């Protein structure tokens, strides 16, 4: 996506694409998927939701699953009878096929208008018998199976989502990590397509997590509890176990052998979890992964300390083990902390189950969001503890053990903390030398700690609980994303989701969902279940149509709002342009006025110049006229003489023209006379 494209431009483009029924545009947006997610636009969420559901099919068959839906992964959208049997583990008897039925389950194949391999020679029979796939079919097709009276069947809907590319490789890892970092109030977790993508991964991931983490950790936890608490009769160290062996020979030998056996098993599992936790931390780098790795390292230190005193000679072990009371105390403290941590880690592992995951995340979130309140409470309790410890010196300054708050400031802190939880010590205050002063401090302490602070804590916890329960479903999906992200190393996406193109969701349609497997015993219950399924199918279709119309109307209103905004912007732009035009006209008027003034000045100067020039021009014209008259008179004389000469020449020509024919006649007569005379002779 180019950097010069604004968010508003992208949203308008997606709104236009949402109005088109052809949603194949999304395939061209895969390279920009995470950039579009970063926009966090409601328009892209709507577009993503509409691009997801490409195929809806229904069959009627026996349902063998306890849940109402199951997720399948397939390389094609074609749902044949063989695929349904294989995926749902159905047999021909369970499907209740009839001999007179033309098609069984989903035998017919359909092709989209956009299929590139479909030629004009392909007919319906070819579609029924060929191996063509199904691409982007929007219209649902319903199939009902024939039934036997002794069997219970339900209509099953199949929905396909073309998001296999979001399950594989680095893209799938980044997508889950992105969802993990989102808040529970995000609209992404409300989208049906996002929920399907998470659930399809969770179903595969959960089985691996149970076998590779939960079951080994349960064994690891049991061995640790046995090793640290039950096996050792004198509570913990190997030195105590050996001492017990010296006093109880037969029973002590059993405890010693079992202690060593459980320790070896615990060490093997500990190394396995350390290696696994280190791999997780190197890839995900989460806070929970760091705590898990530290817990396993401390368990390893605990085992090393416990076995550090073992000698090769069993009889001399007691002599080799020094009687170190301080070391034994440190060992017991370490073991106590590790036991608390082990139970806490067990709760963390139980997040695999959705019911545990939400409440465990609730506890962790409460701890995190009350951190500032805990600091304030600690400071207030410490202030009253310090003041009460100083007041206790008034009673018995020499005998510190008989002080009201104890021998030191730490016991005074515990004293006030217990008073905050409700233990008032009214009888002890009355036995002191200054009961009035203690009573005054107790009133202030009760008001601040017991009334204000604890009520504030209750309100904070209630607010956090309300916020989490309001987004309970989104919190469930976020918990799944957290677990997948933390244990990403165990899920080899390139192998599990190889050649996966479609996510197929098979969902049973029924109104009465009280039974876990949907089975019934009587024919009346069977008929009621069948009618409920049909009614549910009809109501669902009506709801889908209503939702589609609602979505279309909302889209139309959105487009109208966008158009109104655009028109408002255009009007505002036109108003600005009109103001600019007015300013330009004012400038033009001012320029015209200044130009008119200049023109007047120029005309006045020209008039003054014209008057002078006209006088000189008149004189010159008079001279020119006189000269022209003289020239005309001279030319007139010349013309008159020319006319006279012309008239004379014309007269001469006329005379000559008259004389010439007479001469010719005379000559002809003379010649004729001469010829006659000659003839006579």
pLDDT, one tens digit per residue, over 581-609 is 878 888 878 877 787 777 777 777 776 76
Q: Residues 6 or more apart from 470 whose CB is under 8 A from it?
A: none
Distance CA 386, CA 276 (A): 47
Least confident of 16-25, 523-532, 669-678: 523-532
Give residue 498's region: left, alpha or beta (phi > 0; psi -120 to 50).
beta
The one-character DSSP state at 52 is T
Residue with more model confidence, 297 or 75:
297
Q: Are 457 and 373 in contact (CB under 8 A)?
A: yes
β-strands 141-142, 53-61: how paired?
parallel
At residue 233, the pLDDT reads 43
The conformation of residue 432, written as its DSSP 8-state character, comes to S
- pLDDT of 220: 92
For 621-635, what is the mean pLDDT? 73
Extract the tokens encoding 244: 């017990």
Query: Residue 612: what pLDDT?
Result: 66
Nearby residues of 86 by Cβ (< 8 Å), 6 or more positions away: none
**115, pLDDT greater than 50:** no
CA atoms within 13 A on the CB side of 262: 23
pLDDT score for 221: 92
Cβ atoms of 79 and 141 within 8 Å: the answer is: no
Per-position DSSP letters for 220-281, written without gaps between them = HHHHHHIIIIIS-TTSS-HHHHHHHHHHSHHHHHHHHHHHHHHHHHHHHHHHHHHHHHHHHH
CA distance linking residue 182 with residue 480, whole number of Å: 13
Which pLDDT band holds residue 662 (cuts at 50, 70, 90)?
low
Mean pLDDT over 332-354 rounds to 85
Q: Which of the pair, 31 or 118, is modelled with greater confidence?
A: 31
pLDDT in tens, 171-228: 888 888 888 888 877 878 888 888 888 888 888 888 888 888 889 999 999 988 888 8
**Average pLDDT taken over every residue of the chain:** 69
Mean per-residue pLDDT, 253-273:
81
Q: What is the pLDDT of residues 535-579, one digit of tens each?
A: 666 776 777 778 777 777 777 777 888 888 888 888 777 777 778
What digits encode the pLDDT tens for the residues 6-65?
Answer: 777 777 777 776 666 555 556 666 777 777 777 777 777 777 766 665 555 556 665 655
Cα angle 599, 601, 607; round to 5 = 100
Taking residues 659-680, report their average pLDDT.
Answer: 67
Q: What is the pLDDT of residues 509-525, one digit of tens each?
A: 665 444 433 333 334 44
Contact between 273 and 296 under an 8 Å Cβ cutoff? The reply is: yes
Give the residue-averaged pLDDT of 398-405.
56
Check residue 620 and give its pLDDT.
Answer: 75
Position 79 pLDDT exceeds 90: no
Over residues 306-327, the pLDDT tens digits come to 776 543 334 444 444 444 555 5
**Whether pLDDT at 644 is above 90:** no
Q: Residue 144: which pLDDT band, with cuts at 50, 70 and 90?
A: very low
pLDDT of residue 126: 38
Per-residue confidence at 238, pLDDT binned at 50, 70, 90? low
Helix, coil or strand: residue 58: strand
| Residue 508 token pair | 């049973």
Per-residue confidence band for 93, with pLDDT thresholds at 50, 70 and 90: very low
Output the DSSP codes for 362-396: HHHHHHHHTHHHHHHHHHHHHHHHHHHHHHHTTT-
Predicted pLDDT of residue 112: 32
Average pLDDT on 61-82 reads 60
229 has a pLDDT exceeding 70: yes
Does the pLDDT of residue 264 top 50, yes or no? yes
- Mean pLDDT is lowest, of 58-67, 98-107, 419-428, 658-667, for 98-107
Who wins on pLDDT, 469 or 52?
A: 469
CB 109 within 8 A of CB 127: yes
Assign 242 a pLDDT band (cuts: 50, 70, 90).
low
- Tell me, what's the pLDDT at 523? 40
């Amino acid at each position: 996506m180019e950097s010069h494209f604004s968010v508003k431009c992208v949203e308008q483009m997606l709104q236009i694409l949402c109005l088109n029924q052809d949603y194949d545009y999304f395939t061209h947006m895969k390279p920009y998927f995470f950039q579009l997610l970063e926009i966090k636009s409601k328009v892209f969420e709507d577009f993503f939701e509409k691009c997801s559901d490409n195929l809806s099919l229904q069959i009627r068959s026996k349902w063998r699953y306890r849940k109402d839906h199951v997720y399948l992964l397939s390389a094609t959208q074609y749902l044949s009878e063989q695929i349904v049997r294989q995926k749902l583990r159905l047999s021909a008897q369970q499907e209740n096929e009839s001999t007179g039925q033309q098609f069984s389950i989903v035998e017919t194949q359909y092709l989209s208008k956009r299929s590139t391999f479909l030629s004009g020679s392909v007919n319906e029979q070819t579609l029924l018998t060929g191996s063509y796939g199904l691409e982007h079919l929007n219209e649902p097709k319903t199939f009902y199976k024939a039934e036997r009276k002794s069997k219970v069947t339900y209509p099953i809907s199949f929905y396909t989502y073309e998001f296999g590319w979001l399950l594989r490789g680095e893209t799938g890892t980044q997508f889950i990590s992105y969802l993990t970092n989102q808040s529970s109030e995000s609209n992404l977790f409300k989208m049906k397509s996002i929920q399907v993508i998470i659930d399809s991964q969770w179903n595969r991931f959960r089985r691996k997590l149970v076998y590779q983490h939960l079951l080994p950790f349960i064994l690891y936890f049991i061995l640790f509890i046995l090793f640290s608490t039950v096996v050792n009769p004198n509570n913990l160290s190997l030195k105590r176990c050996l001492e017990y062996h010296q006093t109880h020979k037969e029973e002590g030998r059993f405890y010693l052998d079992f202690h060593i056996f459980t320790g070896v098993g615990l060490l093997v599992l500990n190394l396995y979890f350390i290696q696994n936790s280190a791999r997780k931390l190197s890839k995900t780098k989460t806070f929970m992964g760091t705590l898990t790795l530290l817990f396993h390292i401390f368990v390893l230190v605990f085992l090393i300390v416990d076995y550090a005193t073992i000698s090769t000679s069993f009889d001399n072990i007691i002599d080799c083990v020094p009687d170190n009371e301080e070391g034994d105390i440190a060992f017991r403290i370490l073991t106590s902390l590790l036991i608390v941590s082990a139970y806490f880690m067990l709760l963390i592992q139980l997040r695999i189950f959705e019911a545990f995951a939400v409440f465990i995340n609730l506890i962790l979130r409460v701890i995190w969001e009350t951190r500032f309140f805990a600091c304030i409470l600690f400071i207030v309790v410490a202030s009253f503890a310090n003041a009460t410890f100083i007041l206790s010196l008034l009673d018995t300054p020499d005998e510190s053990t008989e002080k009201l708050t104890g021998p030191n400031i730490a016991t005074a802190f515990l004293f006030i903390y217990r008073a905050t939880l409700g233990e008032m010590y009214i009888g002890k205050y009355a036995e002191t030398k200054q009961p009035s002063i203690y009573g005054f401090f107790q009133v202030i302490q009760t008001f601040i700690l017991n009334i204000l602070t604890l009520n504030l804590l209750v309100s904070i916890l209630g607010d956090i609980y309300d916020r989490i329960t309001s987004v309970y479903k989104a919190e469930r999906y976020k918990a799944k994303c957290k677990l997948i992200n933390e244990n990403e190393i165990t899920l080899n996406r390139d192998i599990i989701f190889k050649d996966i193109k479609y996510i197929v969701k098979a969902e049973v349609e029924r109104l009465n969902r009280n039974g876990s497997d949907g089975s019934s015993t009587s024919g009346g219950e069977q008929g009621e279940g069948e009618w409920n399924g049909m009614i549910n199918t009809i109501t669902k279709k009506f709801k889908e149509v209503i939702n589609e119309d609602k979505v279309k109307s909302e889209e139309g209103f959105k487009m109208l709002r966008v158009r109104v905004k655009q028109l408002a912007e255009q009007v505002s732009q036109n108003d600005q342009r009109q103001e600019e035009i007015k300013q330009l006209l004012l400038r033009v008027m001012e320029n015209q006025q200044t130009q008119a003034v200049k023109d007047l000045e120029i005309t006045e100067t020209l008039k003054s110049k014209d008057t002078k020039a006209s006088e000189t021009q008149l004189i010159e014209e008079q001279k020119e006229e006189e000269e022209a008259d003289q020239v005309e008179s001279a030319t007139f004389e010349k013309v008159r003489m020319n006319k006279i000469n012309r008239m004379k020449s014309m007269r001469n020509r006329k005379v000559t023209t008259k004389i010439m024919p007479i001469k010719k006649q005379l000559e002809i007569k003379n010649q004729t006379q001469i010829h006659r005379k000659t003839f006579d002779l």
